[in-house]
Structure 1
Amino acid sequence: MHVRNLHKNGYPIAALCQSFPALTPFVINAKSGNKSINFADPNAVMALNSALLKHYYKVDFWEVPKGYLCPPVPGRADYIHAIADLLVAKPPQKTNTVRGLDIGVGANAIYPIIGVSSYQWEFVGSDVDEVAFVNASRIAKKNAHLSERFSVRKQASSDYIFKGVIRDDDYFTFTMCNPPFHKSREDALSGTRRKTKNLKRNVSKRGGKSSAIGKATANLNFAGQANELWCNGGELAFIQRMIEESTHYKTQVGWFTCLVSKSAHLKPLETSIRYHQALEFDIVEMGQGNKLSRFVAWRF
């Protein structure tokens, strides 16, 4: 993980339970002898996330509606810290106040929470989903340190990414996005079943009890709405659409960035970015344990 990632040394379960006592009932003994939780239990994962956000980011109120994504906090933090490095290494022209735009902020609002708490950045989040918009707004308003630096805008049309969100007088130091990567609902369900199967296997290896967790319940750990999980053409088509639309906001954004889950998409994305005559294109690699991730960044 990134050197500034607060979660790089694992989960201090005892300290987390002290900060957020509601986590305590979900703590189990792993085969290693360490305290852990059953990651196949969505309620345990939700409690762990709440504890992490309370303990490290001083978030007093954080709830996610049933059926919406409950994100892994450590990996999300790496994206924020990597953007911070990019802004230092290659600063945009306007650098007085760092202001980010999170495309698809989701009901969980995880990126603005980490960005505001870690760097005191300002954030605007956008989402096409009404429930996500309302819930992210609640999170912003009910946490004092977020309310002055984080606001949410409703994207009125799924046909657009920046249009209708970026206003004429806006300037954003950067934009960020964790795009939908499945091409269809069927692809998303297949991925969920695969993750659930792997989770149950890992829980069994660690000595946890997963037999009581039914398939439908375990699937909730990877819940998500349509706009969070899939779109026509999948990840590649979505980011290519984002690249094309970014050309209309050349002077209003310092860096455009977007996560890319599949390395095979990097070459066609670079081709698209260069076709639209961006002045600079970067691929920023990140890693969490054995998992590698990355985002692309471009500017005009």
Structure 2
Amino acid sequence: MSTLHRSEKSQTTSNRKGLHPRNLHKQGYDFPTLVKSYPPLAPYVNTNAHGNLSIEFADPLAVKALNAALLKQHYGIADWDIPEGALCPPIPGRADYIHYVAELLGFGKRKITMLDIGTGANGIYPLLACRIYGWQCVGSDINTQSLENVASIIANNPSLKDRFKLRTQHDKNHIFDGIIQAGEFFDVSVCNPPFHASQDDALKGSQRKLNNLSRNRGEQKNTSSMLNFGGLEAELWCNGGERLFLKKLIKESQMFWAQCRWFTSLVSKNENVKPAKKLISKLGAVDIREIEMTQGNKITRILAWTFISDPETDLGPPKS
């Protein structure tokens, strides 16, 4: 097996001007069209201080309505909903992850299979992957109530039934074990790790975001108990936060090196990238990529690694 490493000079792909060129949302939101497609969005749409139509992004109900409208208008997904308090993901950023993963895999070469670790109650990555690229997807989660909600979304969209399957992780100490089955192969795994170490940290982080939103609008709001975009336990926080979760994810990925071509994960905190890449290299990955995504003023990264030089022919064990 090749010992080529790219960790020291990681390939960084970025669209400096913002969202990925193929992202349907790179020109912003057409609110009149969205309201026409999804009327429940209408009460949340108002003219902002700049004279443009917008919503209050600090209001989780407004964000949820916008998501439902975007998914219906652009991706043909009807009746998308999440339980109160569940993570409500911004669609443009989630679509970017799927577009960059598609570039990593190459376009149209063969049928692609994707595993989503911690799909949550929203199921957003498989939903987008199924609709944008027609991939076959499996979503896993430890929370059965979250999976039940995603199952209802799939049931409301029959065309997803044969493309999007769900699996329960019964052991909180495992990630891939108990999910990837014997003889099974995935082209890619995706993951949006919980990045806080506790509920208190999650609340503080959300409060900072909401206070920034309020300051930008010249407003004063009590945001002390609000979670921006929602988020349940295991969606936003875990013991050790993002760094420890990534460590577990990377270590366990080596156990399933021959059953997944590319392992990937979002990395929210830049200081977690270097130790993660160091561990990946130590475990014998033959290719490591750092893919930068820019969304407004926010920069996030996809970390991708593989233990397989040639997924069709190279089945030698990874270097220990």
- When normalised by structure 1's length, the TM-score is 0.92
Which residue of the partner structure matches residue 40 of structure 2?
Answer: 22
Q: Which moved more, 1:280-289 or 1:99-108?
A: 280-289
Structure 2, unpaired ranges of 5+? 1-18, 308-320
In structure 2, give the amino acid aligned to 1:46: K
Q: Secondary structure of the residue that 2:258 maps to in structure 1?
A: coil
How many residues are treated as equivalent by the alignment? 289
Deviations 1:240-279 (A, max 9, x none): 1111101111111010000001111111111100110111
1:84 pairs with one of 74, 98, 102: 102
Which residue of the partner structure matches residue 147 of structure 1?
Answer: 161
Distance 2:227 2:266 in 1: 23
Structure 1, unpaired ranges of 5+? none
Q: Please state how far the C-alpha of 1:31 moved relative to its aligned partner.
A: 2.0
Q: Which moved more, 1:52-61 or 1:132-141?
A: 132-141
Distance 1:224 1:237 in 2: 19
Q: Please state how far the C-alpha of 1:25 moved relative to its aligned partner.
A: 1.3
1:104 pairs with one of 118, 130, 149: 118
2:226 pairs with one of 219, 227, 250: 219
**How is 1:189-268 mapped onto 2 (pairs within 5 angstroms)?**
189-202=203-216, 204-205=217-218, 215=223, 219-268=226-275
Which residue of the partner structure matches residue 295 of structure 2?
Answer: 288
In structure 1, give the amino acid aligned to 2:282: Y
Alignment RMSD (CA, Å): 1.7
**How is 1:21-170 mapped onto 2 (pairs within 5 angstroms)?**
21-88=39-106, 96-170=110-184
Relative contact order: is structure 1 or structure 2 higher (C-alpha 8 Å, sep ≥ 6)? 2
Does residue 188 (structure 1) correspond to residue 195 (structure 2)? The answer is: no
Matched-pair contact (CA < 8 Å) for 1:45–1:221: no
- When normalised by structure 2's length, the TM-score is 0.87
Q: Please state how far the C-alpha of 1:165 moved relative to its aligned partner.
A: 0.4
Distance 1:96 1:31 in 2: 48
Deviations 1:213-250 (A, max 9, x none): 7647x715432111011111111111111111011111
Q: Please state how far the C-alpha of 1:169 moved relative to its aligned partner.
A: 2.4
Structure 1 segments of 4+ aligned residues over 3 angstroms from their partners: 213-216
Which residue of the partner structure matches residue 285 of structure 2?
Answer: 278
In structure 2, give the amino acid aligned to 1:179: P
Q: Secondary structure of the residue that 2:171 maps to in structure 1?
A: coil
Deviations 1:77-117 (A, max 9, x none): 1000000000118x9xxx63201000000100111111111
Q: Please state how far the C-alpha of 1:134 moved relative to its aligned partner.
A: 0.9
Q: Secondary structure of the residue that 1:228 maps to in structure 2?
A: coil
In structure 1, give the amino acid aligned to 2:137: F
